[in-house]
Amino acid sequence: MPLGKHNADPRLYDGAEAAPGFGWDRRAAGNRRGRPVGLTKPKKKDRHELILRQIAEHASIRVSLLAEQLGVTGETIRRDIAELNASGLLSRTYGGATVRPVTSEASFAIRQNVRVAERDRIGGAAAGLVADGAVVMIDGGSTTHQVIWHLAQRARDLTIITNSTAIAVVAAANPGFRVRLCPGPYDGSEALVTGEETIEYLARFNAHRAIIGASGLGHNGPCDVSAGQAAVKRAMLRQSERSMLVVDASKFGVSAVERICGFDAIDDLVVDRPLPVELARIVQAGGTRIHVGREPAGSA
């Protein structure tokens, strides 16, 4: 069944945000360095957020330019970069930093316990895009696991086809779901199967929706650290009318070894926060609609 493709709806997404809370006025008299006018200097958390956004958007940053933009010393920015480098969020270079390529990931059990609130927002938004009665292919992962949890809470009539035992367990708890678990060699650290047998099994079915995750979201599309998992994701996309990619902001601008597909193969991208400007432009140019999960009403 050919992959359905729809034009982007500009009302769903108002572009992308630059780093929030940074209103620099470079035209102010006597303010040639572009220091914030009427605002205090940004706190460390805000600086780190801006650095990671700049990395995601431009792939590299310079200490001197960031220091000028934020109105702080170069030494402050170098300390920030050193901390982010130690946390594995970027690679420090002479005079700046670059994107850190991803070659491996923590296990599924570990990933399940980080960025929980962010993935929960994604799961809720993604589940809202799935109609009752749909046949859904969903691959294994910590973010897709949140999607199936939300689907199991609200949907009453779905057929779930998955390569993940963890997702199959959650889906099977809903008596209105019909669950099919793919065969294949089992990876205990990821709680899923991959391989030729898995892909051949998926080819037997047609689905309304494919829901996949990714290790990174680069400028040429989603990517994954595992060739086997990437092949399963591509197989699910081939068999589905519509496709959905779910990733949190930690994946923005991240490059992994295996490219899954281009953005023209993704109908809907569900994230927990707006994308960097340039990445959003590229995503929407492929006809992908961007959906940002919102915090529950009444949350702090």
pLDDT tens profile 235-269? 999 999 999 999 999 889 888 889 999 999 999 99
Q: Determine the 3-state secondary structure of 143 from DSSP.
A: helix
List the one residue out of 214, 205, 226 whose CA is nearest residue 251: 214
Q: What is the pLDDT of residue 244?
A: 98
Beta-carbon contacts of 211 under 8 Å, excluding residues fewer than 6 positions away, are 126, 130, 136, 137, 138, 139, 144, 147, 244, 246
Identify the pLDDT of residue 239: 98
Q: Output the average pLDDT for the chain.
A: 81
Q: How far, in Å, are 99, 115, 203, 257, 280 from residue 287 at the CA level? A: 26, 28, 26, 24, 11
CA atoms of 75 and 73, how far apart (whole Å)? 5
> Looking at residue 172, what DSSP letter applies?
H
Digit-coded pLDDT (tens) for 47-68: 887 887 777 666 678 898 888 8
Q: What is the pLDDT of residues 26-52, one digit of tens each?
A: 333 334 334 444 456 788 888 887 887
